[in-house]
Structure 1
Amino acid sequence: MATANGAPASNMAAGRTSHTRFQFTQATKEQSKARVALDGPSGSGKTYTALTIASALGSRIALIDTERGSARKYANEFAFDVLELSYFSPDDLVEALAAAGSAGYDAVIVDSLSHFWSGSGGMLEQVDTAAKKAFGGNSFGGWKEARPMERRMVDALVAYPGHVVVTMRSKTDYVLETNDRGRQVPRKVGMKPEQREGLEYEFDIVGSMDWENNLHVTKSRARSLTGAFVKEPGIEFGQQIKEWLEDGTAVEPVEDLITEALRPDAAFEDLGALMKKVRARRLEGAPMMDPEGNPTTLGAHIQERGKILRRASQGGDAERSAA
């Protein structure tokens, strides 16, 4: 095949120098932190299983409790610190994750994430409030206003410096089944989780639990766990997840990137190079605390520091020009 000027296309491709900013590199599996979601009806064992998994992943565990202190009932079996919330704004979860990351917790559990969707101050309420306040009750306008808040929350979960395990409530229903005597008996089953459609794509491993405390892995990027059915999952299940996470090339920890961003002597050029690394790993939403103890994200902090240094540089240039 020839081009318009008669040169063979294959020769042109071989000699072409690419000037695009999009460059492909060899893919490698990297070590990572757990992103696990467990859904199921009340009484299926979500909280207990989340604590079991987190205990296998790290020694310091933080649990964000939206269930009226119910997690404390397991304090005699697991060592963990708890933060109990009664208002569930997605931005409050970002702040709680920033506090957990700043305190150095290896793993954080959100029990349950459903409250940040349908609870007091959750996404549905945020949308309704925004619609009534600025859009005459139009829900489309409300979603446009509130959606960035949800995006910040999801980014903070995905970019948290340690492991993350979340639970989600499932609606319940009844089905008729034939028992061993041939009689039709009702059985409770869990339906889809109380959360927005598609949230499961943000997690590496998703499992559904039933009333017999069995876990069915419905999504897994770890091939060894794909489709797994685990009866009363114990510490071994968490260890399987840990082995998969640690099988790969070591990468710079998010904590180190945050420490670098907090360096008081960082120059403008240093921040630019750091932002490039952060964007390459999609960690702009990593929750953190700034030097004054205010919650923020890694990307926002670098940008703010850059603006301050730029203004200081421009001010110095102006003073030199005046002199």
Structure 2
Amino acid sequence: MSQLPPPVRTGRPAAEQNGNAEQFAFRPASKAGRKARLSIQEMSGSGKTWTGLGIAHGLSEGRRFAVIDTEKGAASLYAGVGGIQFDTLAMDRYDPRDLARALDAAAQAGYPTVFVDSLSHFWKGTDGTLDQVDRAKAKYGGNKFAGWKDGTPMQNDMVAAILAYPGHVVASMRSYTEWVLEGGKPQRVGTRPEQRKGIEYEFDVAVAMDIDNTLEVLKSRCPSLNRKVIPRPQGARDIAGPLLAWLSTDPQPETAPMPETDSTEQ
């Protein structure tokens, strides 16, 4: 069998090569300017709202922050407790595009932190992503799967808005619950959050809270929080403090030495 000739690479104009080199230029890694992204998932009664407010207060370093409230004013019941001060935006319909607009309004107002309580409503509440998919299926002959052509971009744009916010973002989510037997007694436990599968991967830190108000760190890019289990957490001290310390630590990268040339090489 005859061998194929080696591939011939056609040279590109120098200007085009230089442009691509600038576009794909690598730079030293840095956390400079990075803001926290944290999610809290829990069953009803686990303390997510109070814990989320404490974390947002700590991340804001005492300044007023914003709460996007879908929980019928639950957060406002804690206003002033422990010196926590915030402004709220109450929402009773949950189009994911409206969350993006609310985040944009918070950014224009200059809030250092936004607490979304809760993100679950923008998934399965009135006008949430699931509602949008159900409505869109009519355009595709009742095919609900095809309705995701409309729903997925809305969901993705909402997540992009959370990630693009110029300050810190804390988002609570309700958990699906199940009953299990522990020691012969039925116990209610939380499973995954009521949001699109994999949503927790979008956050730097994802925590879960149980009915005893114990916080477990499920995932953390902040090393000092990795796998922590904290009974009755104080959000500002136990979570926000380590997060701010981690984000503010950005050592100057060392310059790698150039490889030495063997003087005996010809």
What TM-score, normalized by structure 1, do the two folds share? Answer: 0.68
* Structure 1 letter corresponding to 2:225: L
Query: Matches of 2:232 and 2:241 in 1, distance apart?
Result: 15
Superimposed CA distance per residue, residues 223-244 of structure 1 (whole angstroms, 9 cap, x where no aligned partner): 1111111111112121111111
Alignment coverage as a number of residue pairs: 231
Name the counterpart of 1:67: 71
- Deviation, structure 1 residue 249: 6.9
* Structure 2 letter corresponding to 1:129: R
Query: Matches of 1:26 and 1:109 in 2, distance apart?
Result: 31
Is 1:30–1:249's contact at 8 Å kept on the other side of the alignment?
Answer: no
Is 1:112–1:167's contact at 8 Å kept on the other side of the alignment?
Answer: yes
- Deviation, structure 1 residue 70: 1.3
Name the counterpart of 2:199: 199
Name the counterpart of 2:91: 85
Aligned structure 1 segments of 4 or more residues deviating by more than 2 angstroms: 17-31
Name the SS for the 1:101 alignment partner.
helix
Name the counterpart of 1:274: none
Query: Matches of 2:167 and 2:211 in 1, distance apart?
Result: 30
Name the SS for the 1:145 alignment partner.
helix
- Unpaired segments of 5 or more residues in structure 1? 6-16, 179-183, 251-323
Query: Matches of 1:52 and 1:27 in 2, distance apart?
Result: 30
Name the counterpart of 2:41: 39
Query: Matches of 1:67 and 1:28 in 2, distance apart?
Result: 37
Query: Matches of 1:27 and 1:192 in 2, distance apart?
Result: 32
Is 2:39–2:206's contact at 8 Å kept on the other side of the alignment?
Answer: yes
Name the SS for the 2:207 alignment partner.
strand
Is 1:31–1:249's contact at 8 Å kept on the other side of the alignment?
Answer: no
Change (3 A) 1:28 1:75: closer
Superimposed CA distance per residue, residues 249-288 of structure 1 (whole angstroms, 9 cap, x where no aligned partner): 79xxxxxxxxxxxxxxxxxxxxxxxxxxxxxxxxxxxxxx
Name the counterpart of 1:155: 160
Is 2:31–2:247's contact at 8 Å kept on the other side of the alignment?
Answer: no
Name the counterpart of 1:177: 182
Q: Give me the identity figure in percent.
A: 47
Written as runs of structure 1 = structure 2, the 5 A alignment for 1:102-181 is 102-132=108-138, 134-178=139-183
Q: Which has the higher contact order (CA 8 A, sep 6+)?
A: 2
Superimposed CA distance per residue, residues 73-109 of structure 1 (whole angstroms, 9 cap, x where no aligned partner): 1113121111110000001101111111111111100
- Unpaired segments of 5 or more residues in structure 2? 1-5, 8-16, 253-266
Superimposed CA distance per residue, residues 181-205 of structure 1 (whole angstroms, 9 cap, x where no aligned partner): xxx2221111111011111111000
Name the SS for the 2:171 alignment partner.
strand
Is 1:29–1:249's contact at 8 Å kept on the other side of the alignment?
Answer: no
Query: Matches of 1:109 and 1:36 in 2, distance apart?
Result: 10
Structure number with the higher helix fraction is 1
Q: Tell me the C-alpha RMSD between the 2 structures.
A: 2.0
Written as runs of structure 1 = structure 2, the 5 A alignment for 1:1-323 is 20=21, 21-58=23-60, 59-77=63-81, 78-132=84-138, 134-178=139-183, 184-234=184-234, 235-237=236-238, 238-248=240-250
